[in-house]
Structure 1
Amino acid sequence: MFDMCIPELVALSHTGLALTVIQIFSKGGMMAYLGWLLLGLILGVAISFPVLKAFRRKTSHQDSVVPLLKSHFHPSPIGAITITERTFPMRVRADLQIAIDQLFGEGITVRHFCGVRGEFSHHGVNLSDCLIENRHSATVTIPPEYEEVDVGVEQPVRVLKIGLWLLEKEAIRFAAFLTPAGHYGQVTGVKLQVGTPNTTQGTKIAQEYFSHLEKAIQQARSYRGKVLSLEQQEHSYSGESKGITVHQLREVTRDQVILPAATLELLERNVIQFVKQRERLSQFKQSTKKGILFYGPPGTGKTHTIHYLSRTLPGHTTLLISAEQVGMLDEYMTLARLLQPSIVVLEDVDLIARDRNHMESPCEEVLLNKLLNEMDGLKPEAEILFILTTNRPETLEAALASRPGRVDQAIEFPLPDTEGRRKLIHLYSEGVTVGAEVIDDVLRRTAGVSAAFIKELMRRAVQFHLEREGTGEISSADVTNALDEMLVSGGSLNLKLLGATGVTV
């Protein structure tokens, strides 16, 4: 039986492998069994390899992007195609996707659409890769992949990750290709390429295509007029992509801004009235950008007032910059210019803009210079309002605090006086009843506290009220228990934390 297999085995191999199998057979027993096993492997490879190769060649040809593009541009040869490219920041993906979708409804016919993948590409895929056959790194069609981007509304925007459109406009065939852009393996933007015939008409189509996208992104409908901050984390816990976070601030009305009359008047004149008169100021060749410094002890209402202003100034986009995000200041300012009229809020500015003489490293001075240059380098007609906040104005760098054109007006937020504390008690006791005698008792015992202290006091008084199963009217005992816990039990550190350093216990 072995003799019958030997000729066929020899015929299958030109490398001497069959002779090795013959030697194994000749030893009999277990070795013969191993020989049959090896023979089966050789026959399996010999039969399946050509089949798999033919199948791969057939599949690759059917899924390849190249034939699609050649057929689309026929009779123009691939060599007559020119590619125009633009790269957009990742943070404008939502507006870019909306603009692309709108463009296809304006005289452009979509003849084919698909996703694209480079089978063995580690550096991304370009439109030029889709025009040339490459056995070693073929570009093939795949189902399109989308990612959802949160823009602060109920439904996120579905943005395409990578895709190819075969298009036609006025009998001219062209293609658009969307793909991630980046450096060293890190995605930093979105690249859009348009391939058109190398003719005057083709060039015009590419220019009109990008002009439409540019105008749509300048309008920035997804984020304009909202309260925003930039995020390093690209995805939220919901799985949606972020990059830009849209904040839903609480609604603060004018009567909820508890400030001295003179402070409130200064605020409205330099912010609200200034914005209303911007157009006329511009007509008289005056600058329409402005810098305001809010300063005062912690808890006196600086952030609370910013919530009020963001609601009061219609059409303004508010950008919230925390001290640790100042490294992204240039990107914030790009958004501020794109989305103007805008408000740029930099809280606790003393953390990066303190006096140079007290800085401990060159990095701190670099951040300060970046801030100064951004505030001073804006064009006069830029409709950008800077609001800086600090609890320590005396530590600020003079080049910031004493330079009109950067900071034009400082507004002090003092500790509330008696009348202010009375209004704060009414503001923060909504939902319960506080009698006149109880209010007078609170006023007598809280001289020198901040607005934040009154807010916390009322919350604790309500909690004590609930613990004794009260009926909705705050008693003197509730207030006393709350004050004792805040002013006595926690010691001097608690007084400082709650903004009650001026209180004598």
Structure 2
Amino acid sequence: MMNASSGTAASSEPAAAFSTSEARAFARTFQAFLEWVASEQGDERNPVTALLHEWLGERAAESVVTRSYSPFEHVNVQTALNAWSTMPERSVRVEGVATPPHYGGLSLQQLMVGDGPPLRLTSPELIDLPDGPDSTLACLRSALMLVDSTDAGRYVVFVRGPSEHQPDLALEIVGLPVSHAQQILAELDHLRSRLNVYRGHLLDVQAGPTGMQLSFVSLPPVHRGDVILPEATLRRIERHAIGMAEHRDSLLAAGQHLKRGVLLYGPPGTGKTHTTRYIVSQMDGYTRFLMSGQALAAIGGVSTLARELEPSVLVMEDVDLVATDRSFTPNGNPVLFELLDAMDGAAADADLLFLLTTNRADLLEAALAARPGRVDVAVEIERPDADARRRLIELYAQHIPLAISEDEIDSAVTRTEGVTASFVKELLRRAVLNGLQDGADQVAGTHLEAAVEDLLDSSQRITRRLLGADADDLEPADPSLLQPATHAFVTGRGRRGTRFYYG
């Protein structure tokens, strides 16, 4: 046989056969389809629709009222449902709803009219979600809650969990007048907020396919002595971040706002992230959000949640990497402007700390100066001086068996002028490796000296840059990346870069 369009001989090879599993899946789906056709022809209601009408009676004619939630709220909605269901004024019976494979999501309206695929009543489908750092909660994915209450009689709450076709979580109510259904949804929402499992925890924010995702995280404790910064610098950061938290009530009584923004800037590897970890560890009782990279695009949703769960801390790392990117946000605005809008939207008396870090303050200067007051203090984290480098060596060597003299440490400190904390950390690691390769029980001065030689070797130029050294060679930022500023920083030139002050 010839192909009419191309004139070539059509292939006589049969199409590739289905695998056994695919054939069985198709057979099950097709059988379910035939059963559905038969039930329709026989005017037979599916068991789900039949149950709803039996339970509601004449109330089945009431409108369906829906409230939607972001997927990360699933565990909070379930927590609210659990508390609400056990209240003495109501009894609740839960039935699961099974749909054919690969079928899209259902609404309660479809269940009421029986419009859709063949459905079955089954045990409720559950998904286990974290409700704390070391615990989980079984959450309903698709279930009918048949409610009988002393004040409202019978009605139905449908829990529709996130799915591929319907990414949002929804609660739907039928069997009540609209105003009464709204009251029930408001009661559940109040419980969701009051019992929110995220309150007071440390949370990592990620950007997922269905939107913002939150994970409970635990970080090793960071003590003040572990933060190697000039005392004046550390005190300035503590005063604005922690001090306001300690004097919250007195500040409010004096009519002072609590919302504050702190920017830590400086070369890569100087300890900005380490400093934020210290600040976060000191703010017990605060809900703390860690954000970086593409997760910064979720700043709008995170700031809304932070206001609900205040007091809160929002840590946004390396803001410069996505500050001007418009592709991450739904409305096409640069991420930095989304952040500034979020800071604008918080009430002055909201106990919120916005803690930002950047390697390139020059990329942020124009936008921050155009919106004065969003960042209250900008603190430069410089490369460590000789005293700080010595303290860093002592910090990173505290668990290392050393056989190194003071003169050998002095030599390493002198030769590493201009490096970063990350460089010193890697220096100690290489010294330990040198000792292990020599079969030594202790790290000697020769091992430290060899590590210094290795890292300062001319062939290690890229390595030094990756560890934050030689970062002054960075090309200047393109000023066209940000909108023109209507206000400006007063700037002065420091020994290790430009210092930024509010004027």
Give the TM interval when normalised to the shorter protein.
0.7 to 0.9
Match for residue 494 of structure 2? none
Aligned residue for 2:219, secondary structure, equals coil
1:350 pairs with one of 310, 320, 326: 320
Letter of the 1:149 counterpart = L
Distance 1:179 1:286 in 2: 44
Establish whether residue 420 from structure 1 lines up as the match of residue 388 from structure 2: yes
Identify if the C-alpha distance between structure 1 residues 447 and 59 changes in structure 2 by more than 3 Å, giving closer, same or farther: farther
Identify if the C-alpha distance between structure 1 residues 366 and 110 changes in structure 2 by more than 3 Å, giving closer, same or farther: same
The Cα offsets for residues 401-427 of structure 1, whole Å up to 9 and x where unpaired, read as: 475421110111122122212221121
Distance 2:386 2:231 in 1: 13
Distance 1:53 1:97 in 2: 32
Which deviates the most, 58-67 or 322-331? 58-67
Aligned residue for 2:232, secondary structure, equals helix
Match for residue 309 of structure 1? 279
Distance 1:295 1:307 in 2: 15
Letter of the 1:148 counterpart = D
Give the superposition deviation at 1:341. Answer: 1.6
Instruction: Spell out the pairing of 1:322-341 with structure 2 (5 A cutoff).
Output: 322-341=292-311
Give the superposition deviation at 1:191. Answer: 1.0
Match for residue 144 of structure 1? 124
Identify if the C-alpha distance between structure 1 residues 395 and 110 changes in structure 2 by more than 3 Å, giving closer, same or farther: same
Aligned residue for 2:175, secondary structure, equals strand
Identify if the C-alpha distance between structure 1 residues 234 and 394 changes in structure 2 by more than 3 Å, giving closer, same or farther: closer
Distance 1:133 1:355 in 2: 47
Give the superposition deviation at 1:260. Answer: 0.5
Distance 2:465 2:36 in 1: 77
Distance 2:102 2:172 in 1: 18
Match for residue 67 of structure 1? 50
**Identity value in percent:** 32
TM-score, with structure 2 as normaliser:
0.77
Match for residue 189 of structure 1? 168
Which deviates the most, 340-349 or 113-122? 113-122
2:60 pairs with one of 78, 82, 87: 78
Distance 2:78 2:43 in 1: 30
Match for residue 168 of structure 1? 148
Match for residue 289 of structure 2? 319
Distance 1:244 1:393 in 2: 28
Letter of the 1:153 counterpart = P
Instruction: Spell out the pairing of 1:47-446 with structure 2 (5 A cutoff).
Output: 64-74=47-57, 76=58, 78-79=60-61, 81-117=62-98, 124-133=105-114, 137=117, 139-151=119-131, 153-170=133-150, 172-180=153-161, 186-198=165-177, 204=180, 206-219=181-194, 221-233=196-208, 243-353=213-323, 366-401=334-369, 403-434=371-402, 435-437=404-406, 438-446=408-416
Distance 1:53 1:350 in 2: 57
Identify if the C-alpha distance between structure 1 residues 486 and 273 changes in structure 2 by more than 3 Å, giving closer, same or farther: same
Give yes or no for contact 2:105–2:165 (8 Å, CA) kept in 1. Answer: no
Name the structure where helix makes up a greater proportion of residues: 1
Give the superposition deviation at 1:271. Answer: 1.0
Q: Could you tell me which runs of 5 or more consecutive residues in structure 2 were left unpaired when the two chains were aligned.
A: 1-33, 473-503
Letter of the 2:65 counterpart = T
Match for residue 478 of structure 2? none
Give the superposition deviation at 1:331. Answer: 2.0
Give the superposition deviation at 1:364. Answer: 8.1
The Cα offsets for residues 430-454 of structure 1, whole Å up to 9 and x where unpaired, read as: 2223344232232232222211111
Distance 2:71 2:332 in 1: 28
Aligned residue for 2:229, secondary structure, equals coil
Give the superposition deviation at 1:303. Answer: 0.1
Give the superposition deviation at 1:145. Answer: 1.4
Distance 1:267 1:120 in 2: 55
Flag the structure with larger Rg.
Answer: 1
Q: Could you tell me which runs of 5 or more consecutive residues in structure 1 were left unpaired when the two chains were aligned.
A: 1-50, 236-240, 357-362
Match for residue 44 of structure 1? none
The Cα offsets for residues 142-198 of structure 1, whole Å up to 9 and x where unpaired, read as: 33212222355233322211100111111611211111468xx63231110122344
Distance 1:55 1:399 in 2: 65
Give yes or no for contact 2:238–2:279 (8 Å, CA) kept in 1. Answer: no
Give the superposition deviation at 1:391. Answer: 1.8
Letter of the 1:481 counterpart = A
Aligned residue for 1:232, secondary structure, equals strand
Identify if the C-alpha distance between structure 1 residues 354 and 53 changes in structure 2 by more than 3 Å, giving closer, same or farther: closer
Kindly report the root-mean-square deviation, in angstroms, between the aligned alpha carbons of the 2 structures.
Answer: 3.4
Aligned residue-pair number: 432
Distance 1:86 1:55 in 2: 35
Give the superposition deviation at 1:302. Answer: 0.5
Give yes or no for contact 1:229–1:320 (8 Å, CA) kept in 2. Answer: yes
The Cα offsets for residues 364-388 of structure 1, whole Å up to 9 and x where unpaired, read as: 8643432322222322122221111
Give yes or no for contact 1:113–1:166 (8 Å, CA) kept in 2. Answer: yes
